[in-house]
Amino acid sequence: MKIKEFPNAACPFCGAKLDRATCAENDHSEPTPGDLSICMYCAEVLEFNADMQLKQASLSTLLELDQKQHALIDKAVQRIRARRPQP
């Protein structure tokens, strides 16, 4: 599994430092602008901008996803949320 490091990336929702990314479907792929990511702390769906910084995923990007991509995101979000400490 190929891991790409991003030393200055942070979640725009919770502020967590997100310094690495990997591809869920391709072991040899690196993220590019427009690709989606998920915060491992708050489980929000994020998008890489042109400078490879993370931003809130745009509605238009999310609407363009197919059913398989939505299912992959939903599964990842559920797993992240299941591991969070409960109040």
Distance CA 44, CA 62 (A): 12
Instruction: Give the pLDDT confidence score for residue 46 in this predicted structure.
Output: 96
List of E strands, the chain: 4-5, 20-21, 36-38, 45-48, 54-56
CA 16/CA 19 separation, integer angstroms: 9
Domain coordinates in residue numbering, the chain: 4-83
Q: What confidence tens digit (pLDDT) does each residue in 34-77 have? A: 999 999 999 999 999 998 889 999 999 999 999 999 999 999 99
Phi, psi of 34 (to 5 degrees): 95, -15
